[in-house]
Amino acid sequence: MPYSLQDQLSKDINFFLVDNTFRLFHFASAGSLLPSIIKKHYDLNRELHSFLLNSDELFEVDINPELSNFVNFENLAMQELYLRDFRFFASRGLYSFDNTIISNSEDQRYHLVAKPIFTKNSHIMLYEKIKYFKKIEHLMLNQSLSTNNIDTSQIKS
């Protein structure tokens, strides 16, 4: 069942992309419109989400030092709650992004929240994950994405 407009505008949908350098990306939509590649491949996105939820933690995580430019937290507990899912996906090898302007559902700009800390032999740990993503080539982009800020409305499939 494809993502309806109501789903897109009322839910925080996790979606996943792979750029042409095989970097893995996670996005939390926060009620924003989804890129057409994700709307087109609903089942693949859900399958990939399920796969990642059941995958092992592989990496230490680095939180974006500029995160306070995008999000303000009332206290440390609120910050930890916010970071939980982003840390989860980053620990599995994905650059993890959140929607920047949540008050405008048409704005598809995202900022980096967390990223994996890659080591010398990271490619070995990611081999199985990349192989899985290659099977889902419909979510593979023909472009390289920034690892800082991304406007998903500019993504070309």
Q: Could you tell me the pLDDT band of residue 145, with boundaries at 50, 70 and 90?
A: low
Name which residue leads in pLDDT, 78 or 123.
Answer: 78
Number of domain units in the chain: 1
Q: Alpha-carbon torsion 45, 130, 150, 144, what sign?
A: negative
Rounded distance between C-alpha atoms, residue 126 and residue 92, angstroms: 9
pLDDT tens, position by position, 8-39: 777 878 998 887 777 889 999 887 888 888 88
Q: What's the 3-state SS for 68-107?
A: HHCCCCCCHHHHHHHHHHHHHHHCCCEEEEEECCCCCCCC
State the pLDDT at residue 123: 55
State the pLDDT at residue 154: 62
**Cα 79 to chain center, whole Å?**
18
pTM over 0.75: yes
Provide the domain limits for residue 41: 5-154
State the pLDDT at residue 117: 92
pLDDT tens, position by position, 101-134: 877 777 778 899 999 998 876 655 665 666 665 5
**Averaged pLDDT score across all residues of the chain:** 81
The percent of residues in the chain predicted with pLDDT above 90, rounded, is 25
